[in-house]
Amino acid sequence: MGLVSVIKNGISAMLAREPLPENAVLLDVRNHKEFAKGIVENSICIPVGELQAKQTELVQQCKLDTPIVVYCASGGRAVRAKKLLIKMGYKQVVNGGGIYHVAKKLSKPIVSC
């Protein structure tokens, strides 16, 4: 088992214990090519590298006190996105980890974007 695999398994185990608020806005921070492969139903799609540039758009969709579950492919970009969102003033941000983890934990389908 390689180091990357150990780290991903550790992150997944940690995230499995963290509850995801069911009423939260879902924010997918993967890239546009990944969005085309599917998103968790009802997600907002903004790549992590575009979050600051699209801050106004995001604030129009969810206020600073709105719970947000941020996710990506495996959780790494979601860590960066969570830090950015908190820096922007969001107060209730949860790293949901990877797309399949979020879909399973919230019992939501993965749908076309």
The domain in which residue 23 lies consists of 3-111
For residue 1, give the DSSP letter: -
Predicted confidence (pLDDT) per residue in 86-96, tens digit: 999 999 999 99
What CATH number is given to the structural domain containing 41? Answer: 3.40.250.10
Residue pLDDT, tens place only, 23-35: 899 999 999 999 9
Q: What is the pTM of this model?
A: 0.85
Task: Please compute the mean of the pLDDT values over residues 58-81 and round it to a whole number.
Answer: 94
In one-letter notation, the amino acid at residue 105 is K
Give the residue among 66, 70, 92 at the shortest CA–CA distance from 80. Answer: 70
Strand 43-45 versus strand 68-72 pairing type: unpaired
pLDDT given for residue 8 in this prediction:
52
How far apart, in whole angstroms, are the C-alpha atoms of residue 59 and residue 38? 24
Question: Which tokens sit at 25?
Answer: 């806005």
Domain count, the chain: 1
- The residue whose two tokens read 């399949």 is 100
- Which residue, 38, 34, 59, 13, is CA-closest to 108? 38
For position 97, what pLDDT does the model report?
94
